[in-house]
Structure 1
Amino acid sequence: MAAAGRVRSEDHFLCSICLDVFTDPVAIPCGDTFCKSCISEHWRVNVPYKCPMCKEEFNTKPQLKINTFIKEMVAQFRHEAQHEPNIYSSDQQAAKPGEVPCDICTEPKLKALKSCLMCLTSYCQTHLEPHLTVPALKRHQLIHPVENLEDRMCRKHDKPLEVFCKTDHTCICHHCTYSDHKGHDVTPLKDEHEEQKPKLKKTEAEIKQMIQERRLKIQEIQRSVELSKNAADRETAEGVGVFTALMESVRRGLDQLLEKIQEKQRSTEKQAEDFIKELEQEICELEKRSTEVKQLSGSEDHHHFVQRFTCVKAAPSMKTWTKVSVRPPSYEGTVERAVSELEDKLREDMKKMVVKAGLKRVQQYEVDLTLDPDTAYPTLILSDDGKQVHHGDEKKNLPDKPQRFTFYCNVFGMQSFSSGRFYFEVQVKGKTDWTLGVARESINRKGENTATPQNGYWTIRLSNGKKYEASADFSVRLSVKSGLQKVGVFVDYEEGLVSFYDVGSSVLIYSFIGCCFNDKLLPFFCPWPNYGGTNSAPLIITPVDTE
C-alpha cells in the first residue's frame, strides 16, 4: 500500500515537459504547473504563449512565480523517496551494453522499455508511467526502445519524420512536403510501412530459396567429388594390378601413372573446395540477410523499417550457380598411355590387359532387352522378336497412346530400371545416323524436345556417317575410330553414371557422371529416317559375347 501511495504521489509531482519531479514549480493562469526552467524554455521557442497541457493561449507572457507550497511538498517527497526502497528494483535492471538506457534516470541508468517519438526520449518503467496515465501524454507515439532518437527529427525543420517521399525514397517531415519535396509523391510512414511489409515475406522466401539452391549445389559438388574419387580409386587399383605383374624395370612407369591420376584428383578436389567455400560464404551472407529480414518483419518502428526495406529487398549480388559444376576428369587411356611407353612386346601385352578390363567389368551386368511397340513412332518397323528397329517409308495408322512418341522416330525398351546397374549392346553397323542411350520414363513424347540431360536424356549419336557427339548440356564432339559397329551402354543408377563403349576395341567412348535420375530409366533408341536407303540398316540389340 505504501508503494502504491508513492506512485500516486509521484504522479502529482511530475512536470509534463521534462517528466521528472518538479524543480522550482510555477503555476500558470490556467492552473497547470511546470518546472520554471521547462515552461520558460517552451515559451522561448513557441509563440504564441500556450499551455503545453490544456493548450489555453495567453495574450501576454504570464509572470512566473514559484509556488512555495508545491515546492515544499516536492522537497518532502524527495526526502521520503531517498529513504524508501526502489519499488521497481525487482522488476527492472540496469541497462547492459547494447541495450537502450532510460534518458531520465541518473546513474545507474535503467533499461528503457519504450521510446517516445514525440518527446524524443527513452523511458524505463518508472519514468514511463506518465505516458500511461496522463491524458495528454497518452496520445504520444511509443515504440520499442531505440537509440539516437534525434535521427527521427528533420534537421532542417526540427520536426518528426512522419512522411515518406516515394519520389526520393526518403523519410521527411510534414514541413518538407511544402518546401524541398513539394509536388512529390508522399505518404504517411505508417501507410508506407503497411504497403511494404507484405513484400518482405516475398524477399524472405527468395532468400531462403537462394540458400536452399546453394546447399543443393554443395551436395551436387560433393557427390561429384565422391564419384571422381571412386573412379580414381578404381583406376589406381587397376593400374597397380597391371604393373605389379610386370618386371621391376617398369616400376617407374607405375609411379608416373599413379602421380598423374592423383594430380587430376587433387585438381578436382581443389576446384570443388573453392566452389564450396564460395557457396558457404554466400550462404552465410544470405543467412545474415534472412535474420535481418525476420527482425525487420516484426519491427514496429516505421522509420527504421522503411529505411532498411530497400536495402533488404534488393537481391544480393551473387554468382549464378545453375551451370557451375565440377566435372571429374576422365581416366580412360591413362593406363594405356603409360604402358605404351614400355618396350614393344610389353606394350602390346599391357594394352590387351587394360582395354578389356573395364568393359569386362560392366558386361557382367547384361540385361535381356526387347523393344516396346506401344512407344514406337508410327514409321518405325520392329522385328517380331523385338530386338531390331529401322525406319520405314510409310507412316502406319496406330493408336495415339500416351506412351507413344509422335514427334521424333524414337522407341523405348520394354524394361525399366530404378536402381542397380545394367548393361546392353546394340549393333550400329551400316548406319549413317543413330542415337542411343537411356532416358527418363517421364520425358515429353509428344512434342519437340532437345535430347539433353536437363530434359531427361543421356545419349550419344552419329550424324552424316562421321560426326560422333555426346548430347550433354552442350554437344561434346567424340573421338571415335571409324568402323564403329557395336556400342555397349552401361548404367549405374545409384552412382549416377552412364557410360558408352566401343565393344569391338574395348574402348570407353564417353561417360555422363554425377547424373540425377529421380525417375525410372528406359533404354532409348532412335534409328533416324532411312534417307532414301542410305540409313536403312536396323539398330539391333545383341547378346554380349564375353569371349
Structure 2
Amino acid sequence: MASSSSLLSEEQFLCSICLDVFTDPVAIPCGHNFCKACIRKYWDTTDLCQCPMCKKSFDRRPDLFVNTFISEMAAQFRKSVQVKATSGPDHCPTELRGVACDVCTGTKHKALKSCLVCLASYCETHLEAHQIAPALKKHKLIDPVENLEDRVCKEHDKLLEMFCRTDQTCVCVLCIKTDHKTHYTVPLKEEYGKKKAQLGKMEVEVQQMIQKQLQKVKDIKYSIALCKRDAESEIAGSVQVFTALVRSIERSQVDFIEVVEDKLKAAERQAEGLIKELDQEITELQRRHTELEQLSHTEDHLHLLQSSASLCSLPPTKDWSKISVHSDQGVGTLRRAVSQLEETLISEVKKLCDAELKMLQQYAVDVTLDPDTASRYLILSKDRKQVRQSNTPNNHRDNPNRFSQCSSVLGKEGFSSGRFYYEVQVKGDSWDLGMAGESSNRKGDIFLSPLDLYWAVVLRNGNEYNANEDSAVHLFLREKPQKVGVFVDYDEGQVSFYDVEARSHIYSFTGCTFTEKLYPYFSPYFSKRGQNSIPLIICPVEYTD
C-alpha cells in the first residue's frame, strides 16, 4: 500500500494566500480551504466578502471552524518534509525560511547577517569571526540577503556603492572614474534616502488614492441605494395614479351603463303606455268594424237608415303620426363620459407635471446672452437677459460665432454634462427657443433640426407651434404659454419644454446623442407685421412649494 507522502503533493497542503503549509485550515461555503488567519486578514482588507479563488460572494462572513482532518494531514505532511530535509546533506530544514549560511555543511542554518565585503552570509556561529577579528570588524554587515553577486559590478568586480543619477543605475567606485566620469553620481546611501522619501510620499499618495477610490465605491453604492429608493417610490406612485385612473374609468363605465339602462327603462315605460292606449283605440275600432259589418248585411231598410247616423262617423283617435319611441338613448352620453375622463386625466397629468417641474427647478442655472453670437438685427439689454428685434443693423464686428442672417443669439454659458434648467418669458407672436450645439452652423440660412445640431420649439403667427424635429411636429396647446421652461439632461440625451404657468409639458426631444457643448438658443423672430418689439426675457426661476 502506498504511503500518504507518496500520494499527496505539497500543493495540496498550501494556503493560496500565504503560499505556506496550512495553519488552522478552515473551509468556506464554496469548498476552498485557507489558513484561518489568512482568510480573516483578506476579508478585513476588502469591502466584499468573497472567495479569493473562485470570487464567489457571500451575503455575510461565514462562521469559520478548523477542519481537523486537513489540519492533521497538513501536520503530518510538514513533519514528513522536515524528516526528508534533514536526511540529506544538501537539504535545509523546513523551518529555514530565510537565507542559508554559506559556511554551514550538512544541515544549513539560518544566516543572521550578510557581509558586503566577503559577499557571503553567516549564521550565528560563523558570524563570530566578524565580531572578533579586527580586520573583519571593518566589513559592512547587513541583514541577510540572497544573490550577493548581484551587488558586485560585473565589469570591475567591485561593490556597487554609488548611484549614477544620469543613467539611473548603480555603479562601483571605478565606474565613476571611467564610463560615468562626467555623470552626476552620489553615494548609494544618499540616493537610498532620496528614493525612500519619494517612495514614502508615493505610498501616502497611493493610500490616499485607495481611500478616494473606496470612498467613490461607497458613493456609488449610496447612489444606487438612492436610485433604488426613488425607483420604488416612483413605482408606488405610479401604481396609485394608475389605480385611481382605472377606478375612475370603471366608475364612468358603471355610470354610463346606468344612464343607458335608465333611459331604456323610461323608453320601455313610454312604449307600454302608448301600446296600452293604442290597444284601447284598436278595441274600439274593432267594435265599430263589427257593427258596420253587421249593418251592411241587414235588409231592414228602416233599421239601416236609423243606425247609419251614429255609425257613419269614425270613432275619435289620437294623431299618432308624430308620436314615436326613440331608440338613440345613448347619444351624447358616451361622449360626455369620455370627456369627463379626459378632464380627469388632464388633471392627473397636470399634478404630475407640477411635481416634475418642482424637481427640475433644482437644476436651475444662471443663463446670460452672448453678444459675440448675436445677429446684427438684435438688441441685447445691459444685463444680457433680454433680446429683441431691431429695424436697423448694428455695427457689430463679425466673428465665426456670430449669426450672419438669422435673428438669433446663444447663451454665454455652455454645458457638456449633467442636468440644467432655465426659464424664458415668451409673449410675442413669433419666437424660437431651445438648445444649439457648439459647432452648429450660424452663417446664412440655418435649419432648426437635430441633424443640424438644433433642438428647438418655435411659434409662428401667434398660434402655430412646432417642434423642429427632422420634420416639423405640430403641437396643439390648450393654452398659449407666457413663460417656457427648458430642461436638458445631457447624459440621457433629452431636451424638454414646459409651460411654466400652466404647469404642463409641451414637448421633449429624446434619445439624442450629445458629443459637444450645448448652448441655450434664442430668436425673437420677425412677425408678419415686421419688427417683433416684444423681447424674449430670461427669468429667474421661482421655486414653487
* Fold conserved between structures, TM > 0.5: no
Q: Which structure: larger Rg? A: 2
Task: Please state which band the TM-score falls in when normalised by the shorter chain.
Answer: 0.3 to 0.5
Instruction: Between the two structures, name the one with larger relative contact order (CA 8 Å, sep ≥ 6).
Output: 1
